[in-house]
Amino acid sequence: MTMFAWLHIFFATGWIGGGLFSSVALSPTLRGISPEAAVEFVEKFMPKLGKMMGLFSSLTMVFGAGLLFEYTGGRPLELATLKEPEIFILSGAILGLCTYIFGVVIMLPQARNVEKAVRASRSESDKGNYSKISGLMTRIEKLALVDLVLLLAVFTLMIFTAFY
């Protein structure tokens, strides 16, 4: 169980760190640089950040499921007894799954839209696509903040569980 816990916490830390970095450092920085520099940065960095976030979030879920399976002795549905600390575990698992789905279904397509807009701006002779990229980045910035709040809520539930 210790191995699953360690790996779950390690990858969750990377997932939360990536969300925190995106919301607190990356988005404000991109707003403050020229459109050309922002496009170049997004073109080179966004695919790497997306892969890292996808890997860390997926492995958080995999090792969290393993930890849950170990914790319940192979009977995860027994968490539905709604006793403490099981209620925190169940709530955290459900909210974590919702956060993961939010990332895959909403954030990932938005990130791909930004990448497509950047590629289109590189191939067009007029650089009028900057406003479209800026609009997409503003949307991603808001979504990243929602994702971060969800991740911090999951983190809080897991802390309650650990110290209960």
Residue 43: burial class (beta carbons within 10 Å; 0-12, 13-18, 19+): middle
Structure tokens at 87: 């209620």
> What sign for the dihedral angle of Cα 34, 15, 55, 145?
negative
- What pLDDT, on the 0 to 100 scale, is given for residue 124? 61
Average pLDDT, the chain: 88
pLDDT digits (tens, 9 = 90+) for 113-132: 988 888 887 776 555 567 78
- What pLDDT, on the 0 to 100 scale, is given for residue 52? 94
pLDDT digits (tens, 9 = 90+) for 17-28: 999 998 888 888
Question: Which DSSP helix (H) or strand (E) runs through 26?
Answer: none
> What is the DSSP secondary structure assignment for residue 42, as one 8-state letter?
H
User: For residues 33 and 36, what is the distance between their CA atoms, to the nearest angstrom?
Assistant: 8
pLDDT digits (tens, 9 = 90+) for 125-163: 555 567 788 888 889 989 999 999 999 999 999 998 888
Q: What value does the mean pLDDT take over residues 5-29?
A: 92
Q: Where are the domains of the chain?
A: 2-162
Percentage of residues in the chain having pLDDT higher than 90: 46
Q: What is the 3-state secondary structure (H, E, C) of 62-124?
A: HHHHHHHHHHCCCCHHHHHHCCCCHHHHHHHHHHHHHHHHHHHHHHHHHHHHHHHHHHHHHHC
- What pLDDT, on the 0 to 100 scale, is given for residue 128? 59
Residue type, 75: R
Q: Which of 127, 152, 140 is nearest to 22 (CA)?
A: 140
Q: What value does the mean pLDDT take over residues 36-54?
A: 87
- What pLDDT, on the 0 to 100 scale, is given for residue 34? 84
User: For residues 79 and 76, what is the distance between their CA atoms, to the nearest angstrom?
Assistant: 6
pLDDT band per the 50, 70, 90 thresholds, residue 1: confident
